[in-house]
């Protein structure tokens, strides 16, 4: 058991915990639920409200991480100063390394898109657009975290039919991140190569960076 919990040079597919703050509103709660669903079966959703402030005190977060053997987290809260607030982060050896705080805007849920959903455990393709992901040090670190958060298990081979989901992160010139999630649909084309169509499936949101805390800070 102790060997299983020791930090590894190459991590297994990471478990993510989703924690609702005591003042989380319906928007934030649905954000947590949608991403928890996409991350199954490697996700743990906390139904109980938790009085936490990750940037001021990460001890509860680190406790929950160790209890659930998790190395990624998403925390949601809402207040007058920081409405529709989401914190995304990662841990190593159950200690917080990096975390980024965002305001959620223009949110649409999975249920707002009336299309057939992808199977649980589908490994997504990730697409990053925008110069800041390559030229700005903070956004480079954020890109690395987003890859950690969304990539799923590391695999050596995948069949074409397994490429069913793509998550797009577009960083605008003002630093806002437009997150869009699409189902990949293969349709007959009359040739051996199918016609590929992207159908938006949610969640859909814009993320405004508020605060960040990095391991080097």
pLDDT in single tens digits along all 217 residues of the chain: 344 444 443 445 689 999 999 999 999 999 999 999 999 999 999 999 999 999 999 999 999 999 999 999 999 999 999 999 999 999 999 999 999 999 999 999 999 999 988 998 889 999 999 999 999 999 999 999 999 999 877 777 766 666 899 999 999 999 999 999 999 998 888 888 888 899 999 999 999 999 999 987 5
In what helix (H) or strand (E) does residue 149 lie, and over which residues does it extend?
helix 137-150
For residue 189, the model assigns a pLDDT of 86
- Residue 143 to residues 55, 73, 180, 183, Cα–Cα distance (Å): 20, 16, 15, 21
* Cα–Cα distance measured from residue 110 to residue 124, given in angstroms and rounded to the nearest whole number: 15
CATH number at residue 178: 3.40.50.10480
The residue to which tokens 């040739």 are assigned: 191
Q: 25: domain range?
A: 2-213
The label of the residue with tokens 């299309």 reads 115
Total structural domains in the chain?
1
Residue 58, CA distances (Å) to 43, 65, 71, 96, 99 in order: 20, 10, 13, 7, 11
């Amino acid at each position: 058991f102790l060997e299983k919990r020791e930090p590894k040079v190459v991590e297994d597919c990471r478990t993510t915990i989703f924690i609702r703050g005591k003042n989380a509103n319906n928007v934030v709660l649905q954000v947590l639920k949608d991403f928890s669903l996409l991350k199954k079966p490697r996700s743990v959703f906390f139904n109980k409200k938790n009085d936490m402030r990750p940037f001021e005190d990460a001890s509860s977060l680190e406790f929950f991480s160790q209890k659930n053997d998790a190395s990624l987290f998403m925390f949601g809260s809402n207040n007058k100063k920081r409405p529709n607030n989401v914190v995304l982060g990662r841990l190593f050896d159950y200690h917080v390394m990096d975390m980024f705080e965002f305001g959620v805007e223009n949110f649409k849920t999975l249920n707002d898109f009336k299309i057939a959903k992808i199977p649980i455990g589908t490994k997504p393709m990730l697409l990053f657009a925008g110069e800041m992901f390559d030229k700005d040090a903070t956004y480079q670190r954020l890109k690395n975290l987003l890859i950690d958060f969304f990539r799923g298990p590391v695999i050596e081979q995948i069949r074409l039919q397994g490429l069913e989901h793509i998550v797009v992160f577009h960083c605008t010139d003002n630093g806002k991140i437009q997150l869009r999630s699409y189902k990949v649909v293969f349709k007959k084309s009359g040739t051996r190569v199918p016609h590929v169509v992207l159908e938006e499936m949610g969640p859909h949101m814009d993320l405004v960076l508020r605060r960040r805390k990095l391991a080097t800070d």
